[in-house]
Chains A and B, each alone.
Chain A
Amino acid sequence: MRYFGYAGRVLRVNLSKGKIAIQELEKDLASRFLGGRGFNSKRLFEEIPRGLDPLSPENKLMFATGPLVGTMFPTASRFNVSARSPLTGIFGDSNAGGHFAAEMKYAGYDQIIIEGGSPQPVYIFVDDDVVRIEDARHLWGKDVYEADKILREDLKDNNVRTAIVGPAAENGVKFAGIFADLMRAAARTGMGTVMASKRLKALVLRGSGPVEVADPESFMKISEEIEDAIYRHPQYWPRVKMGTTRILTPVNEMGFLPTRHFTEGVFEHASDVSGERLAEEYNVKSRGCFSCNIPCSRFYKVQEGRFSGLKGEGPEYEALSAFTARVGNGDLALALKANDMANKLGLDVLTTAECISWAMECHAKGWLSKEKADGLDLSWGNGETILTLIEMIARREGFGDVLADGVRAASQKLGFGEEIAMHIKGLEMIQADPRGLKGYGLGFAVASRGGDHLRAEPFIELSDDPKRGMELFGVPEATRRLEWRGKGKLVSYFENWCAVIDALEVCKNIAENMEVLPFAKATEAIRAATGFDLDMKAVAQVGERIVNIERAFLVREGITRKDDTMPSRFLREPFTTGNSKGSVFELEPMLNEYYTERGWDMHTGIPTREKLRELDLDYAADEIDAP
């Protein structure tokens, strides 16, 4: 059939057999799951059996993008990459922006599925209809930057788009990411590790075809409305100047900036490592993703000191605050260096910083001696130790090898520190302490990929404005960060909305954060782009369907209510200082409210048969034997 918005094709490359197949995109998949994360989640449920070894060739690595990508719709530039995760053992998924996803569409694909595994290192070059599996022995062992440079030289084209894994992935570090055009990281849940387990060093794209929309005139009108709303937004300039790093200062002021491994919520050196400081001292230029009028990425240069000459893009809030507050380091240039090393070696910055800060807390508690850690000085904020450990983790050397399977595995291997291993379902937590923002916290506890905020991103909670909660959910507390009531409704709503945004592969900054893309406008854009006759209810249902199919995947692996939890520190130990002082996380009542809102079984957290039927997921209900 003829598609609008979509490229209309799916590419499957089997690296065991060297087989390449181009298939037509299924209409049913497109209209019910929309794209991107939706496509991947649906196929993972269908094609990845229970209990499969994530590093076996049978695991599948799926890249997918959405129907608005490749057009002028602001921020529609993203892709999801999904597989069973070697880090968590369950549903794995990551998302990145840049220019890679649009090139997928121009080459003619909505989804690229990598199956099997090659006996020797290869890369895949997708040049429109011509797909080649090429020798990559000369790239193996090279860092992300080196490999990118060689690929562009080999192909004699600087305008190809690349997705590359670094040495960390090759060495089997379980939290290695995939790096698109050097600096757009799909870092979470070890998707790079899966890619390298298939001996796939890189996926390189070149496309020359068009992306066509069903109703160009309406589509351009909607896109321009969003574009204008972005320009007029009060956060426009702060975002251009600081990107996501702009929130470090307020997060610290509100008292939930994870400091010294979540032992505190206020960092005394925050003003030395803030987004403002980064912008003033190091930023030289603004950069942006494809088709985005908010150039919120920043290129920095270090002009003096021991890291003089260091340059690169970013960091974003998570990397910046993880390599400063979380590890107790007040040296901004050192954090830039740590981020740069993680990018080149191909590591997830959040998991890396969790492993390091966990070791530091274990040391502070007297559980982990210097000797056990290869003589490293594990006192808080030790810069040398931070940089050395990043390298050792990536190379799986000595104590780095202990940390290279993630914090949950490290605590199990060493036999201590399990209760302070800050992960949920095996995924290390982000840089926000749930005690200081309860809606986010609930989002972490139930997120389908583990301890992460981007499944729900209920940014509205930070407004602390009870009127918004009343208006949207009939519960004024829903939008007050330190209250627990109404958070089940809040999270359920925003999870569905985030799933739609991830399916469209638009940036959450304009949807959940800046709120310039209302649901109704997104629905209009989908209709104008695809020509599908979907109303707001149907679009909302797509989001709910994606959340439920991912939950079904987890349930099939044995995940239930007992796993929707978080480390005990958040449930029992109140903050002693700062503007979230005295607060603990009220998990159980929030879960009750959430499951009720979701139509899931209250005792087990399993989606009911009735709910799955309502979403046309009868097959999933049968597969998990839904109550």
Chain B
Amino acid sequence: MKRIVIDKNKCSGCRYCELICSYRENSKFNPKESRIRVLKYNELGVDDPIVCHQCTVCPPVDACPTQAFLRNEDRIVRIEDEACTACYVCVDACPLGAVFKPPNQRTPLVCDLCNGKPLCVKKCPTHALTLSIEEGSSPYRDTEGRGVSE
């Protein structure tokens, strides 16, 4: 099963991931419309990317009162716009804090893995984000010639 793997020790906190994620949405740049967020703890030098891990047990799926928060056949989570009442129970239910409340009263934001080719992984300058294909497989990075390994 595909999921994004995070190595926060590699994250520089540049927030390219937030920018490309929000840009995909509507060709605008707005970190608060992003499905991934980098929490920063400047005094400690910590940058902590938060994104859905596609957990096997997903509390928001159970918590959603209208069954809007569900899994696709490939087990990737998504929120069905029409069924969502924007109650944000899912935002509180996710133990990772990886479901985000958007600026306006709209459907919450959660990572949908960009049809299997996450743009944040592609753009990450430091390989802090990688994509894991199957359970137990080693993470790989979809570079397509971008980014540089030393």
| Nearest CB on B from A366, distance (A) | 44
Instruction: Decide: A72 near B14, CB < 8 A? Known: A182-B43, A208-B103, A228-B146.
Output: no
B interface majority secondary structure: loop
Q: Taking CB as reference atom, which chain B residue is nearest A145?
A: B43
Q: Which residues of A contact B49 (CB under 8 A)?
A: none
Residues of chain B contacted by A208 (CB below 8 angstroms): 30, 32, 103
A237 to B149, CA, bound (A): 10
Which one of B34-42, B61-69, B76-84 is at the A interface? B34-42
- Which of B16, B45, B146 sits near A299, CB closer than 8 Å? B45
Q: Is A249 an interface residue (CB 8 A)?
A: no
Most chain A CB within 10 A, of B12, B19, B31, B47, is at B12
B16, B103, B126, B146: the one contacting A291 at CB < 8 Å is B16
Chain A residues, CB < 8 A from B150 = 237
A217 nearest CB neighbor, chain B only: B27
Which B residue sits closest to A69, measured CB to CB? B29
Complex CA gap A294/B47 in Å reads 15
The answer to whether B28 touches A212 (Cβ under 8 A) is: yes
Query: Nearest-CB distance from B29 to chain A (Å)?
Result: 5
Q: What size tier do the contact residues of chain A reach? A: 35 or more
Q: Is the CB of A293 within 8 A of B28?
A: no
Say yes or no for B148: interface residue by CB 8 A criterion.
yes
| A99 / chain B contacts, CB cutoff of 8 Å | 15, 40
Contact A289–B14 (Cβ < 8 Å): yes
- Residues on A with C-beta less than 8 A from B16 are 72, 291, 293
**B98 interface residue (CB < 8 Å to A):** no
A286 contacts B by Cβ under 8 Å: yes
Kindly state the separation between the CA atoms of A312 and B42 in the bound complex, as whole angstroms: 8
- B19 partner residues in chain A, CB cutoff 8 A: 71-72, 291
Cβ of B22 within 8 Å of any chain A Cβ, yes or no, is yes
| Contact status of A290 and B43, CB under 8 A, knowing A106-B31, A208-B103, A209-B103 | no
**Contacting pair A288 B146 (CB below 8 A):** no
Per-residue CB proximity of A185-224 to B under 8 Å, as 1/0?
0000000000000000000000111111100100010000
Residues of B within 8 A of A183 (CB): 42
Instruction: Map CB proximity to B onto A300-334 as digits: 1 under 8 Å, 0 otherwise.
Output: 00000000000111000000000000000000000
A528 to chain B, nearest CB (A): 12
Q: Report B55-108 residues with CB < 8 Å from chain A CB.
A: 103
Q: Evaluate contact between B14 and A285: CB separation under 8 angstroms.
A: no
Contacting pair B13 A287 (CB below 8 A): yes
List residues of B whose CB falls within 8 A of some A CB.
9, 12-16, 19-20, 22-23, 26-33, 37, 39-45, 47, 103, 125-126, 146-148, 150
Closest 7 pairs (CB-CB, A-B) = A299-B45, A295-B12, A210-B28, A210-B30, A208-B103, A293-B125, A288-B12
Q: Which residues of A contact B (CB under 8 A)?
A: 70-72, 99, 106, 145, 148-149, 158-159, 181-183, 207-213, 216, 220, 227-228, 231-232, 236-237, 284-295, 299, 311-313
Given A106-B30, A285-B45, 4 more A-B residue pairs with CB atoms under 8 Å apart are A210-B30, A231-B148, A232-B148, A291-B19
| Pairs A–B under 8 Å by Cβ, sample size 11 | A99-B40, A149-B43, A182-B42, A182-B43, A210-B28, A210-B29, A228-B146, A231-B125, A291-B14, A291-B16, A291-B19
